[in-house]
Amino acid sequence: MATSIAVSVIVPTYNRATLLLTALRSIAAQSFQDLELIVVDDGSTDRTRELVSDLGNPKIRYFYQENRGAAAARNLGIERSRGEFVAFLDSDDCWLEAKLERQVDLLQTQRSPGCVTGYFLYTLRGRRMAVVPSAEATSLRGILWKNTLQPCTTFACRRSVFRQVGGFDETLRRGQDTDWLIRYRRTYEIGIVPKILAVFNQHLTRSGETMERSSLYFLEKHGAALLAQGSLFFRRKTAHVYQELAYQFSREDNMRKAHQYTRMSLTSYPILAPGIWLLLIDSLLGTRLKQTLDSIRYPGVLK
């Protein structure tokens, strides 16, 4: 007879052997240990397999797949999971020791939320700040506007919700967590543990082409939901998506694409941050005003 497991912890990873070790140690240090740890290796070519094997942790179940992206890795982990609850941890992040204990307690005592999150530490460019999710941030409107919850590191949820909501959209190489949250939030509530539970590490390494494919697909897929929030909301959201694409292509010195999305952004909603107007000047005149300003604001980080 199989032993029941309370939580299946799913860690997707790709060529992050050193960072992965920190993530796995934070799971091993949890005060709550009624768990299985599912590591899904998304086609790594480094020492990920050997590292996991060398740990000799009987709670770890290791699965390898050809590189298909984080969404596919998480879906495989869900498929192989056996716990009543599921929690995700990205392989470059880590948990504080009471994370699972506090979230499982909330899930067991409050039956309404299918998922719970908590406060977390957000790190970017060497800076760290505490993020305290508000009720608005967990609402459907809040998630549609900007997902600040980082669910693939901060959430724990009932495994049963995936039967209704479905898994992660494997078409999306970016933003698959936001897409899942939008679908989830149409049916279920989100509970909040009022304690710092995790450390989320933001990285700036991105691909403009990947951002473009995912962002345009996202707007097409959720256009009706965005428009349901009002015409102004829809135009502002669309403008911000195009703005982020313009910034990314500018960082890659693809000024043709930067100009294209700058114009699309300003056409959708012209009242935006001054940076987009600087980028319009740059794309027309061949200057680098936006990049110069960014290099002053973030020395040693952006080119």
Q: How far is CA 7 from CA 10, 147, 220, 257, in A?
A: 9, 25, 35, 45
Tell whether 2 is covered by a domain: no
Q: Is residue 135 domain-shared with residue 276, that is, in the same domain?
A: no
Token code pair at residue 230: 């009002």
Domain end among 181, 201, 221:
201
Residues 177, 152: contact at Cβ < 8 Å?
yes
Q: Is residue 75 domain-shared with residue 220, that is, in the same domain?
A: no
| Cα atoms in the Cβ-side hemisphere of radius 13 Å centred on 141 | 7
Going 294 to 298 to 299 to 303, the CA torsion angle's sign is negative
Q: Is residue 139 domain-shared with residue 261, that is, in the same domain?
A: no
pLDDT at residue 296, as a whole number: 64
pLDDT at residue 57, as a whole number: 94
The domain containing residue 70 runs over which residues?
7-201
Tell whether 302 is covered by a domain: no
Count of the separate structural domains present in the chain? 2
Q: Is residue 197 domain-shared with residue 216, that is, in the same domain?
A: no
Q: Is residue 46 domain-shared with residue 102, that is, in the same domain?
A: yes
Nearest to 191 by CA among 137, 147, 123, 131: 137
pLDDT at residue 302, as a whole number: 45
Residues 44, 65: contact at Cβ < 8 Å?
no
Q: How many angstroms separate the CA atoms of 138 and 204, rounded? A: 25
Read off the CATH number of the domain in which 100 is found. Answer: 3.90.550.10
Tell whether 263 is covered by a domain: yes
Tell whether 284 is covered by a domain: yes
Domain end among 156, 176, 201:
201
What is the rounded radius of gyration, in angstroms, for the C-alpha atoms of the chain?
20
B/e letters for 185-203, b = 16+ CB within 10 Å, e = fewer, are beebebbbbeebbbbbbee
Q: How many angstroms separate the CA atoms of 31 and 34, rounded? A: 10
Domain end among 152, 186, 201:
201
Question: For the whole model, what pTM was predicted?
Answer: 0.90
Q: Is residue 88 domain-shared with residue 158, that is, in the same domain?
A: yes
Q: Is residue 56 domain-shared with residue 84, that is, in the same domain?
A: yes
Q: Is residue 93 domain-shared with residue 175, that is, in the same domain?
A: yes
Q: Is residue 111 domain-shared with residue 155, that is, in the same domain?
A: yes
Angle between helices 274-285 and 231-251 (to 10 degrees): 50
- H or E element that contains 198: strand 189-201
Q: Is residue 260 domain-shared with residue 143, that is, in the same domain?
A: no
Q: Is residue 117 domain-shared with residue 237, that is, in the same domain?
A: no
Note down pLDDT in tens along the chain; length 303 residues: 345 899 999 999 999 998 999 999 999 999 999 999 999 999 999 999 999 999 999 999 999 999 999 999 999 999 999 999 999 999 999 999 999 999 999 999 876 678 999 999 999 878 899 999 999 999 999 999 999 999 999 999 999 999 999 999 999 989 999 999 999 999 999 999 999 999 999 876 668 999 999 999 999 999 999 999 999 999 999 999 999 999 899 889 899 999 999 999 999 999 987 888 888 888 887 887 777 776 666 555 444
Q: Is residue 122 domain-shared with residue 24, that is, in the same domain?
A: yes
pLDDT at residue 279, as a whole number: 84
Residues 15, 44: contact at Cβ < 8 Å?
yes
Tell whether 303 is covered by a domain: no
